[in-house]
Structure 1
């Protein structure tokens, strides 16, 4: 017989090794709103972006970060705009 995880007083008992099979990965059970607030990412939309390391001046970085979430995408868009204006084939 399985021991309940919570006793009559609402206290959670110490977990044992056999309890672990009852748990599911967080990405399967957390609501989407909580995943987003925790920064759990879903599959990347195409086209897939490449992760790199880049050095930016402090004022540029601060200005983009102050615009809120999505600042990295805005940097990407700013670079695309620059390429469209300056790139010559």
Structure 2
């Protein structure tokens, strides 16, 4: 197996080249540097990934249901677990009022 790296070598610009690149970028009206306020408001992309955090956190539990119950809810399509949660919430609401 070859020990030669297949990655291209990245050559960093010299200080003079960097100044020329920066000057060219600043002279472009469509590419102005960000203001300190804009920089401060930036958020890392990984903070934006995924589902938004809910105010009502759910607990992860392991539960066993009868096969008929699981098959019924799964047959209702995507979101079956949320619908199952809704049915259980209704049950709790109905039974907590009467006690």
Deviating 4+ runs (over 4 angstroms): none
Aligned to 1:7: none
Deviations 1:19-63 (A, max 9, x none): xxxxxxxxx59xxxxxxxxxx842432201000001100000001
TM-score, normalization: structure 2?
0.46
Aligned to 1:55: 64
Give 1 or 2: higher helix fraction: 2
Q: Please report the RMSD computed on the Cα atoms of aligned residues, expressed in angstroms.
A: 2.5
- Does 1 or 2 have the higher relative contact order (CA < 8 Å, sep 6+)? 1
Distance in structure 2 (CA, Å) of the matches to 1:57 and 1:75? 13
TM-score, normalization: structure 1?
0.51
Where structure 1 has 5 or more consecutive residues not aligned to the other structure, the ranges are 5-27, 30-39
Where structure 2 has 5 or more consecutive residues not aligned to the other structure, the ranges are 1-6, 10-44
Distance in structure 2 (CA, Å) of the matches to 1:41 and 1:76? 21
Larger Rg: 2
**Any idea what SS the aligned residue of 2:61 has?**
coil
